[in-house]
Structures are given as C-alpha cells and as structure tokens.
Amino acid sequence: MAVDTVVGRLDKAKRGVGVSGRGPGTPGAHRSRSPLGRAGLTLVLFALPSLVLLLLLNLFPVIYSFIQSFQDGTPSTLPTEANFVGLQNYVSVLTSDQFLQSTLFTVIFTIVGVFGSWIVGLALALLLRTRIPAGGLFKVLLLLPWIVPVVVSATSWNWLVATPQSPIPMILANFGLGDVNFLGDPVLAKILVCIFKVWISFPFMMMMMASALASVDNNVYEAARMDGASSWQAFTGVTLPIISRTTYISWVLMTIFCVNDFPTIFLLTQGGPSGATTSLIILSYQYAFQNLQTGPATAVAFMMTAVLVIISTLLYQRIKKADIE
Amino acid sequence: MSGQPIAIGGAPSATLGRVKRTSAKSREQKGQWWRFLLILVVTLVVITPILAVFYLSTQPGQNSKVTGFTFENFVRIFGGTDVLLWLGNSLIVALVTVLFSVSIAAPAGYVLSRLRNRLVSGYSLVLFVVQALPVVTAAIPLFITFSVLGLVNTLPGVAIVYIGSTMSVAIWMMAAYFDSIPISLEEAAWMDGASVFGGFRRIVLRNSLPGILSTAIFSFLLAWNDYLIALLFLQDSTKYTMPIGLQTFFQQNAADWGSVMAVAVVMMVPPVLLFAVLNKYFSVGGIGGSLAGR
C-alpha cells in the first residue's frame, strides 16, 4: 500500500501535477463558446502597446548594438556617423587577455552564484519546512538580502570588509591570518564578490525551493521511511525528483541573473583589483563609458546576448515540452 | 550542509507504537530546538550587514559631542544634502514605472493567458528571450538615442527605460495570474452581452488584485533598485535617484559612516516597508514564480 502511495505520488509529481499544473482558467475546451476568436481587433489593441514598447526599448537596441559592433563609434556618435570596420572589434576583443580573464571570471561567478545560492537556499527551505519556533519570522528575515537594494548592501559590505581595519578583516586577523585585504588581493576579491552574490541570491532560491517543496506530501516520506529508506535516500529519491523542474528553471534563471549582473560586482570592487573581478558585463561597460569605444563594448555585449538567447530559447522549449508531456 | 535528516522531520508518525511515539515526540521536540538554534545563528549572520546599516546610522560621528544612540546623522543629511530630492525623484520614477508597466502589461497578459495560437506562442517566446538580454546591450544604443531625443539626464528618460525593462516579466506575471481565473466567469459575462473588453475590465481585472500587486511590486523594486541605467543617464545631482545619490554620497564622505548609513536607511525604508505590509504578494524574481506556475 505504502509503496503504491509513494509511486503514485512520485509519478504525479513527475508529471507536474500539484507542482506546477496549469490553473483552472486555461482555455481550450471552452473555446467554441468564447467570443475571443471574433474579437480580434480588441485583442490586437490589448497587445499593441506592449509590442511597441518591446520593439522600441528591447529589440531595436539589440539590432542597433549589433550594427555598432561592426563600427568604430563612441557613446556620443550616431551609427550613421561612424565607420564600418568589419570584424575588427570582435578580433581585438577576442584576442585581448582581459576578455579571456573576464570570460573565466564570469563563468566562475555564475557557477558559484547558481550552485552556492541553490545549496544554501535549498538547505534553508528544507529546514524551514520543519516545525521550528518562530519559523515564519525567520523566513521573512532571511528574505531581506533579496529585498534590500544592492546599493545599500554593497555599502554595508564595504564597511564590513573594505580595508584591513574593517570588522571582518580585524576578526580574521585575531585568528592569526594577518592583514587581509579583500579588495586589494585578486583572489580574495573574487571570493568576496562570489560570497556577496550568494548572500544576495539565496533568498530567491529559498523561495523557489520552498514553493516546490510545498507540494510534497509528508506521507511520501513516511512511506519511504517505512520502506527502510535512509534520510539521504529519501532526499535523493523523493525530494530531488519532485523539485527537479523548479530546480531546473531556477538554475537557468539564476544563470541569466548572474551573467547579467552589473551592480553586485561593480559596487564592491569596480572590477578590480587589476581587472580580477571584471566580468564580461563590466568589461562591456568599461569599453563603452571609460574608453569611449562602443565597438568593442557592443561586440562583448552581443556575444553575451547570443549565448543568453540560446540558453533561454532552449529552456523555453524544454519547459513547453515538459508542459505537454 | 548537514541538512538531510531535516528533510524527513515534521509530522510525527502515527503508525509507531505508543511507547515509541512518546520517545519520537521528545526527540522531535529536542530536534526542534536544535533546528531553532541553527536557524537563529544562520539568520543572525545573514542579516548582520543589514543590522549594521541601522546601527551605524544611529552612531555619532567623530567630531560629535553626543555619545550613544543619536539621530544627528539623519538631521544632518536631511538638512545638508539633496537626499530628500533624491528620495522624491526615486519615488516619482518608481511610481510612474509601476503605473505604466501594470496598465500596459495587464491587457497584454490577458491575451497571452486566453489565446493559444502560433502568434501568441511566438510572442511569449520573444518575451522570454527579452528578459534574458543584458541591460548593457540595450543601455548603449538607448543612451545614444536618448541623447538625440534630449531624454538623457531627465527622470522621464530613466522611467521609460525602466518601463521597457519591466515589460516582459510583467506580462508573464499578469498572464500567470490570469491563468488562475476561471474563464467560465467571463463566459457568463459574455452570455449577458458583455464585450471582451468589458469582461476583461469587470471580471478579470476586478479579481486580479493579488496579481496586479505582485506585478506592481516587481516593477517598483526594479525601478527603485536600478543602478546601471541611473548611473549612465543621470548626471546632475538634482536629477539623481537614491542609488546614485547614495553611491555618490558614499564616495564623497567615505569616512563619515554615520551619515552614509543614514542615507542608506532612507533608501532601504520604502522597499522594506512595502515588504513588511505586502509580503505575501512578493514574488521572488518575478518571472521565477510565473515560470514555475505556467
């Protein structure tokens, strides 16, 4: 009996029932009775303002920056005034040491950001699922890093770590680690920025995981335990499969958030010391607004964009496919 | 992380014998306190940077005669800086963003929710891709275009960019909420002779307050917290929004932590207040929740 329940629930969960099922309003069966098909003009008018905005503010800039990436413009020249230079911007970017370094750092930052925040977020979501005195209060407090503006938290982290006389380096010095200069040392600066990103992002993961876990019935665990499953087996065999869809979505979203993240890094280190924490997006910013070369800047941005568009299109199709199955 | 046993905790087993149950109960209670202690420590560590902001903002500066708790930093920044102006700018920009973002996204989300055809799924794919685009890609062309249009260094300029950046996620969020409203409600209205617009306005919108609030909060936070666009577009200190105001003030008064943190508190209060009052409408990351739900 118990096994049936587990299998049944697992199966249900795998099919997405109760995890993410469509709401009752999803049309389909009722279409014949609806005037939606006849109200074409109204619906076009409904969508039109958003379409215009998306075209002007999102798609036009992408095409614009694609053109710019083959030109030698500055942030104050129009594309019509700049000269075409062919692939020169791409060549000069791809052959520069800083681009390689930035790509590597972006990858590290993203991997730590995604999996660090996922592990912390999942652990806390599991912890908060159990009965804990004042659990609700902790849930609210733990969301604060996500709510507080990043400029504020970066200011505070600056106070905590910026100089060897700041509180955290002083504490570390008491443990005999000597003068710890987080912002002066390339490796420490990288570690610091990654920790800061995990600190900001884990509440997102915690919320996502909590909502996925909310659909897990405790009886499933009872049944698993009666079957002699250990805690770890129950976790990998029951919990992980049930939350896998949400996990997958949150990984890809967090990847996008990390690759696109400008302020988290910039406010703490400005990309320094000596370019150690210059991610691709900061590199693009520096090319455009410090060196005043929009060509290489948009070349970097465009290569990032291409990667992200591919990632998100693949994700979108996989989610759609999962919905149909 | 030693989180594995925790996953199993929770409901005490009803199938165990009486003796076992009591021992399980006391073990469960003991476990409760251990978990409480663990989460207390974690939470304290996590919110230390935020507590530090509040604490430092109430500490007297180096040349101050006062000792202990004081509001002199707030008195100083409100009297001697443009912080109130920045706060006003931020509020205007954020509220305008919310207004436009919600009123443009709601009807578009309705189309996305109620129609299923090739055009609409193409639209939905475009929206999804757009939210993945790096802001920097758009920022450079928009900066050049807006310079030509005279919108650089103006509040409407940044508000327009924010409305554009909220759009795709806002539409997704609205659509995800509309999905949860049964179409039979509208059908009844249509039977009574209501138009599609009438049904949308009187039935769907009227039942969508939570969805509208979530979308509004998402848009508000995006506009309130943005740093990059404000950094590029706003050059006069009278035009600054809070993020740029705080950052500039911090660079100019790095030694005066009390005043810097007082400005930080001013910036933090609106979103934290919003969160305190409306926390059940906070959807983390906006699109995250709607993606999981759609």
Query: Where do the H-state alpha helices sit in chain B?
Result: 4-8, 18-57, 72-80, 83-114, 118-130, 135-149, 155-179, 183-191, 196-199, 209-225, 228-233, 242-252, 257-278, 287-293
pLDDT bin (cut points 50, 70, 90) of residue B13 is: very low
Q: How far is B111 from chain A (nearest CA, A)?
A: 6
- Give the pLDDT confidence of B145-173 residue by residue, as tens digits: 999 999 999 999 999 999 999 998 899 88
Q: Regarding predicted confidence, which is higher, B12 or A294?
A: A294
pLDDT of residue A58: 87
How many Å apart are CA A206 and CA A186, to the nearest integer? 30
- Is residue A57 scored above 70 in pLDDT? yes
Residue of A nearest to B51 (CA): A156
- Is residue A303 scored above 50 in pLDDT? yes
pLDDT of residue B116: 77
Which residues in chain B have Cβ-Cβ distances shorter than 8 Å to A27? 114-116, 183
Buried b (16+ CB within 10 A) or exposed e, A200-230: bbbbbbbbbbbbbbebbbeebbbbbbeeebe
- Give the pLDDT confidence of A182-231 residue by residue, as tens digits: 888 899 999 999 999 999 999 999 988 988 888 777 787 778 878 888 88
Select the residue from A6, A48, A119, A159 to test the B interface by mutation, using most B Cβ atoms within 10 A. A159
- Give the pLDDT confidence of B264-274 residue by residue, as tens digits: 999 999 999 98
- What sign has the CA pseudo-torsion B201, B177, A26, A317? positive
- Chain A interface includes B223 (CB < 8 A): no
Contact A138 B246 (CB under 8 A): no
pLDDT of residue B288: 55
Which residues in chain A have Cβ-Cβ distances shorter than 8 Å to B153? none
Q: Where do the structural domains in chain A lie, given as residue ranges?
A: 88-324
How many Å apart are CA A141 and CA B193, to the nearest integer? 49
- pLDDT above 70 coverage of chain B, percent: 85
- Chain B interface includes A284 (CB < 8 A): yes
Residue of A nearest to B35 (CA): A132
Select the residue from A148, A243, A290, A305 to test the B interface by mutation, using most B Cβ atoms within 10 A. A148
Least CB–CB distance from B293: residue in A20, A75, A305:
A20
pLDDT of residue B76: 84
B contact residues 62-101, partner A, Cβ 8 Å cutoff:
none
| B49-75 average pLDDT score | 83
Per the prediction, chain A carries an average pLDDT of: 82
- Chain B interface includes A304 (CB < 8 A): yes
Least CB–CB distance from B5: residue in A143, A146, A231:
A231
SS3 A84: strand
pLDDT of residue A236: 84
Q: How far is A289 from chain B (nearest CA, A)?
A: 8
Contact B49 A157 (CB under 8 A): yes
Q: Regarding predicted confidence, which is higher, B48 or A179?
A: B48
Contact B168 A221 (CB under 8 A): no
Least CB–CB distance from B133: residue in A58, A68, A124:
A58
Task: Say how many residues make up chain B.
Answer: 294
pLDDT of residue A299: 92
pLDDT of residue A79: 74
Identify the DSSP state of A22: P
In this structure, of B63-72, B172-181, B195-204, B223-232, the range with the lowest mean pLDDT score is B63-72
**Minimal CA–CA distance to B252: which of B120, B80, B43, B37?**
B80
pTM: 0.84
How many Å apart are CA A161 and CA A157, to the nearest integer? 6
pLDDT of residue B24: 64
- Is residue B287 scored above 70 in pLDDT? no
pLDDT of residue B5: 34
In this structure, of A75-89, B179-193, B279-293, the range with the lowest mean pLDDT score is B279-293
Q: How far is B65 from chain A (nearest CA, A)?
A: 23
SS3 B141: helix
- Give the pLDDT confidence of A8-54 residue by residue, as tens digits: 333 333 333 333 333 444 444 444 456 666 677 888 888 899 999 99
pLDDT bin (cut points 50, 70, 90) of residue B1 is: very low
Select the residue from A33, A102, A130, A206 to test the B interface by mutation, using most B Cβ atoms within 10 A. A130
CATH architecture of A88-324: Orthogonal Bundle (1.10)
- Chain B interface includes A195 (CB < 8 A): no
pLDDT of residue A151: 94
- Give the pLDDT confidence of B14-33 residue by residue, as tens digits: 444 444 555 666 776 777 88
pLDDT bin (cut points 50, 70, 90) of residue B275 is: confident
- pLDDT above 90 coverage of chain A, percent: 34
Spell out the residues 6+ positions from residue A102 whose beta carbon is closer than 8 angstroms to its own: A275, A278, A279, A280, A282, A283
SS3 A71: strand
Contact B161 A144 (CB under 8 A): no
Q: How far is A245 from chain B (nearest CA, A)?
A: 8
pLDDT bin (cut points 50, 70, 90) of residue A149 is: very high
Q: Decide if A196 contacts A150 (C-beta within 8 A).
A: no
Residue of A nearest to B114 (CA): A27
- Chain B interface includes A56 (CB < 8 A): yes
Contact A20 B107 (CB under 8 A): no
- Give the pLDDT confidence of B209-248 residue by residue, as tens digits: 888 998 999 899 999 999 999 999 999 889 999 999 999 9
- Give the pLDDT confidence of B69-109 residue by residue, as tens digits: 888 888 888 888 889 999 999 999 999 999 999 999 999 99
Alpha-carbon separation of residue B188 from B113, B193, B204 (angstroms): 18, 9, 12
- Chain A interface includes B38 (CB < 8 A): yes
